[in-house]
Amino acid sequence: MRFGAVLAGLAFAALPAGGDARALEPVDVELVLAVDVSQSMDYGEHELQRQGYVDALVHPQVLSAIRGGIYGRVAIAYVEWGAAQTVMTPWTLIEDAAGAGRFAEALASEPIRTIHGTSISGALGFAASLFEGNGYDGFRQVIDVSGDGPNSSGGPVVPARDAVLQQGFIVNGLPIMLREPSYTFYSIPDLDIYYADCVIGGPGSFVLPVDDASQLADAIRQKLVLEIAGAAPALIPVVETRPAPRIDCLIGEKLRRGWQGP
């Protein structure tokens, strides 16, 4: 009997008496893709970002990472966010090319749209709420946040991040740095450091910055492979005691107040 099958049997055996086994389908990872669709990116960039996820989900490297897990299957949900959040593609079990293709097709069929504002804190809280009762039981529960600016609406990002980490979730980041820092009122030059110090956290968490549009598709694919395989690159080490941030984690809110005036 395969090792994965043995573990799967143990997982089902651990369910409470009378429980519904279908409510806790074991997977290697439960992954929420939380993607920024704020108005600071133009339509072409939103289209490039969406297509990057569509292509990555069916790429042989991603499918190989899925098959390489103990169970050989993952559960993924796709969320778009700005100041508000919307589930574009709900939780879906992916264990083969056909399943990945259905998820990618469903995502590709959704219209490209934008949401006003940038609330990373709201995206984190919303993403964390999606795991409860989703029907899956993963070894890891990961929130993957991509965005092109700091938190500037909703609550502060650090308390939201810390609350998510206390629930046992892992947060990874894909800071998108395609524009000059002066492109919008809320742009900052060190978005990668902001994500590293203010957004991500948990065992094996990492930041994978993108500073050229030609890198975006490859970065999305690499990020998915790392998250599914559970192997983080040596980019942002995880430490037991988080050092003081190298950047002001309230910079987005301060930029907003400065733009709006007293």
Residue 188 lies in a domain: yes
Residue 202 lies in a domain: yes
Instruction: Please report which confidence band the pLDDT of residue 178 belongs to, taking 50, 70 and 90 as the band edges.
Output: confident
Instruction: Please report which confidence band the pLDDT of residue 232 belongs to, taking 50, 70 and 90 as the band edges.
Output: low
pLDDT at 234 over 50: no
Residue 9 lies in a domain: no
pLDDT at 4 over 50: no
Instruction: Kindly give, in sequence order, each residue whose CB lies less than 8 Å from that of residue 218, ignoring residues fewer than 6 positions away.
Output: none
How far is it, in rounded angstroms, from Cα 113 to Cα 92? Answer: 22
- If phi > 0 it is left, if psi is from -120 to 50 it is alpha, else beta; for residue 121 that is alpha
How far is it, in rounded angstroms, from Cα 89 to Cα 77? Answer: 6
Q: Give per-residue burial for 57-73: e unless 16+ CB within 10 Å, then b.
A: bbbeebbebbeebbbeb
Contact 81, 66 (CB under 8 A): no
Residue 215 lies in a domain: yes
Contact 171, 161 (CB under 8 A): yes
pLDDT, greater one: 38 or 224: 224
Please give the model's pTM, rounded to 2 decimal places: 0.85
**pLDDT at position 241:** 57
Residue 155 lies in a domain: yes
pLDDT, greater one: 259 or 156: 156
Residue 85 lies in a domain: yes
pLDDT at 220 over 90: yes
**What CATH number does the domain containing 42 carry?**
3.40.50.410
pLDDT at 236 over 50: no
**pLDDT at position 5:** 35
Tens of pLDDT, residues 85-94: 999 999 999 9
pLDDT at 56 over 60: yes
As for how many domains the chain has, the answer is: 1
pLDDT at 76 over 50: yes
Residue 21 lies in a domain: no
Domain that holds residue 174: 30-260
Residue 73 lies in a domain: yes
